Structure formats: structure tokens, C-alpha cells
Structure 1
Amino acid sequence: MRLGLLSDIHGNRIALEAVLDDMPPVDGLVCAGDVVGYNPWPAECVATVRERAIPTVRGNHDRAVAAGSAAGFNAMARAGVDHARSALDDDAIAWLDGLPERRAVADGRVAVVHGHPDDPDHYTRRREFAGGLIDSAADRLGVAEADLDALVLGHTHVQHHGVFPEGVVVNPGSVGQPRDGDPRAAYAVVDLDDRTVEERRVEYDTDAVAAAVADAGLPERIGSRLAEGR
């Protein structure tokens, strides 16, 4: 079974469309949260995820939009939450509010979270994927559970994965706001049968997104940093 892995779409319709157009043949899609936030198209991104019935977990921006509170967020993140609150109808906000923090897909073979199995707001950094640096890394990240082939998470906007005897841990990176110095939209494909991961990137029109950010009255830096992958 092959699954396409998405995360951190963050209201970037143009990036999401590019990823879906680039997606190779897969048996299904999953999303590790933060469908909304920052960029100008939260309603369109929520609609796409819902129309495609993509299993999704609730990210911290999804939660903030649903709750109407961006406590602890910086100015850009707060602006994205406010924009999403104004752009989404009650049904879409209720959908965000109803997303779980963790879910199992592929007959229980894959667990999907946003930040970490024990803390949805924890930034699981690249170093935590390295078994040579942290003892029992697979146990820490929750892939030692019976019959679990993969753990999918996001939140950092940095694409990477780890392969352990117990299974694979994958952060597909951010569709809508990569932060690893590569401006291309990020996603991944995992093959559950041979436990391999393909990290994929696709170019999209960051200038068009930056222009839409300005048109929406959002902070300019939300758009300009997309070209830097920051």
C-alpha cells in the first residue's frame, strides 16, 4: 500500500494544487494537520481536503481558528488566524474543531499526529529521528506499537524521515510554507509494504501567493518568505 503524505498546507491553495497535480499513483492520502493559517485561501484548502475525504488531524493553527484564540502566536500567525476566522463559514470551523489530535489509517498500520504522539504542540526535530543520537528513538516517537508500520507527523515544516526496525517516521514537510530553505512545496509518499519513503518537492508560483497575501491585507512577510523557503 502506498500513501501520499501531506502536512501544513496553511491556506496555500496554489501550493496544494501543485502537490495534488504532482502526486504519483497512491492508494490514499493523509494530512498531518494545519490545513489553515497564514495564507489567503483557508476556505478553499478546507474544501479540497473535505471533498477528497483526506483523513486529517488537528494542527495548532486549526485549533486556534476553531477556538478563536491565537494566544502565544506571533503577529503573522495571529493575522492568519483572524483571516481564516473571517473567511470560513460555521460548518468549516466546526469541521476544524472536530478533527482529532491523533488518528489511525490504513487498517491501523499508520498513526497520524501533528507534533508528537505525546504532545501535539511539540516540535519533533530532525535530531529526534536519528537513532544514533537518541537511544530508542523509535520507542520515543511511538512506532514500536504492534502492527504499526509508520508514524506521520508535521508541525516543523521541515521534510525528513527515519527508518527503524519497528517502522518508519515521516515528516513530509510543509505543502504551503516550507522552512528548510527549499521554497518548493513538500510532500512524501510511503510504501507500507517495504517501509520505504520518497520525499518529494514541486515548484509552484510563490509570487502569485505573495500577491494574494498583499491583496488580502495579510502581513507582507507571510508572502515574501515563501520564495526563501523560510
Structure 2
Amino acid sequence: MKLGVLSDIHGNRVALAAVLDDMPAVDGLVCAGDVVGYNPWHADCVDAMRGESAGLPEGVPWPTEAVPTVMGNHDRAVAGETPFAFNGMAQAGVEHATEQLSEEQLAWLADLPDERRVCDDRVKLVHGHPDDPDHYTYPDEFGPDLLDDEDVLVMGHTHHQHHEVYDDGIVMNPGSVGQPRDNDFRAAYSVLDLDEMTVEDRRVKYDTDAVIEAVEDAGLPRNIGFRLVKGQ
């Protein structure tokens, strides 16, 4: 069984469309949180993860059913629950998402769990860390001690793509679809093969100029768009 693994889409419909176009054949998708924030297409990205593709641009293989997703810190802030210490760009994105999303979309965000297990509990999804959803677990903290009884632990939050294979299983972060911060501007995602217990980390180019223009048109801080060019 193969899974397409996403995280930190952050309202970037252009990057998400590029990832879905690039993705090889998989048996399903999962998302490690932060569907919204920063970039201006929060509603479209929420609908994509909800499997509600009717209003999305044609010609993209949007999900046709709901994608198992956990709650990220931006999702939580937009849903109106536990606050998080945000910088100016992040706060602007949260406010923009709150204004843009419908009550139904906000309710979907509010219902997201901090942890989710899929594939007969073989895969555990969290956003930051198994013990703290807001902790930034960078690659130098990866280790088999992060695993519980699952075969694969998927984390997001850092926007750094990385995975490690241990005797006890796999610890992985697919990187960020919508705002990479590992000095590579290309949208990041991974393909997890549960039969072979392997991970293929993938990157795909997308039209960052279109995102920069949309950020400015939405009245969001300009650096939200410009930082995408450097992957920072």
C-alpha cells in the first residue's frame, strides 16, 4: 500500500495543485496538519482536504474523498481554540483565513484531532511531536524513541523534509507543500510504501510568481510571497 503524505499546505492552492499533479499512483492521501494560514487560498485547501472539489479549478486530480488530517497550530488558531505565539505574517494569515472560511469549513477545522491513526493503526499522524503538537521536531531530534506501537510516525510543523528508517519503524516529515523552509523553494511531499517500508521524498516546482501576486492582491504581508522564492 502506498500513501501520498502531505503537510503544511498553508493555503497555497498553487503548490497543492502542483503536488497533486506530480504525485505518482497512490492508494490514499494523509495530511499532518496546517491546511490553512499564510497564503490566500484557505477555503480551497480546506475543501481539497475535505474531498469537496466541485468548486476547485478543473484539470487537477483533487481528492475525491476526505483526506485523514490532524490539526496544526494554524488550523487551531483559525478554529478559535488554543492560541499560539505568531509573528506578524502568521497572524495576518490566521486573520485572513478566519474571514474567508465558511462556518462549515471552520467546523471541519475545529473537529480535527491532534493525533490520528490510519492503515490499521500502522501509521500515526501528528503535527509537531507525539507528546506536544506545538513542538518543532527537527531532523536532529528524530530517533526510534519517538515511535510507540506504530510502524510509521508522520510529523509536520517544521517545514523541513526528512525521514529516517529504523529497525522499529520509520519517522518522517514530508516537508511543507505550501511554504518550505529548508532552503528549497519547491513544494515538498512524500510517498510512503507500507509494503516495502520505504519513503520517497519528492519536490516539485510551481508558479511562485502567481502566489506572490495573489498574496499582494489579498492585502497580506508581501514577504509571505517573497520568502517562497528562497524556501525560507
Asked if TM exceeds 0.5, the reply is yes
Q: Which runs of 4+ in 1 moved over 4 A?
A: 68-71
What whole-Å deviation, never above 9, does each CA across 1:154-196 have from its counterpart, x for those lacking one? Answer: 0000000011111001100000000000000000011111211
What whole-Å deviation, never above 9, does each CA across 1:112-134 have from its counterpart, x for those lacking one? Answer: 000011000000011012xxxxx
Q: In 2, distance between residues paired with 1:216 and 1:70?
A: 24
Q: Name the residue aligned to 1:199.
A: 201
Q: Is contact 1:158–1:171 with CA below 8 Å preserved after alignment?
A: yes
What amino acid is aligned across from residue 218 of structure 1 in structure 2? L
Match of 1:93 among 96, 102, 106: 106
SS in structure 2 of the partner of residue 211 of structure 1: helix
TM-score, reference length from structure 1:
0.93
1:26 lines up with 2:32 in the alignment: no
SS in structure 2 of the partner of residue 209 of structure 1: helix
Q: How far 1:68 sits from its partner (Å)?
A: 6.7
Q: How far 1:70 sits from its partner (Å)?
A: 5.1
Q: In 1, distance between residues paired with 2:114 and 2:83?
A: 18
Q: Is contact 2:73–2:84 with CA below 8 Å preserved after alignment?
A: no
For the aligned residues, what is the CA RMSD?
1.0
1:187 lines up with 2:177 in the alignment: no
Q: Name the residue aligned to 2:96.
A: 83
Structure 1, unaligned stretches of length 5 or more?
130-136
Q: How far 1:69 sits from its partner (Å)?
A: 7.1
Q: Is contact 1:68–1:85 with CA below 8 Å preserved after alignment?
A: no
Q: Give the direction of change, closer, same or farther, for the CA distance of 1:83–1:68 in structure 2 (3 Å limit).
A: farther
Q: In 2, distance between residues paired with 1:78 and 1:111?
A: 29
Quote the sequence identity (%): 66
Match of 2:177 among 166, 175, 178: 175
- Number of aligned positions between the proteins: 219
Q: How far 1:71 sits from its partner (Å)?
A: 4.6
SS in structure 1 of the partner of residue 120 of structure 2: coil
Q: Is contact 1:144–1:167 with CA below 8 Å preserved after alignment?
A: no
TM-score, reference length from structure 2:
0.92
Q: Name the residue aligned to 1:6.
A: 6
Summarize the alignment of residues 1-230 of structure 1 with structure 2, pairs less than 5 Å apart.
Answer: 1-51=1-51, 52=63, 53-67=66-80, 71-129=84-142, 137-139=143-145, 141=146, 143-145=147-149, 148-230=150-232
Q: How far 1:144 sits from its partner (Å)?
A: 3.8
Q: Give the direction of change, closer, same or farther, for the CA distance of 1:152–1:10 in structure 2 (3 Å limit).
A: same
Q: Is contact 1:184–1:204 with CA below 8 Å preserved after alignment?
A: yes
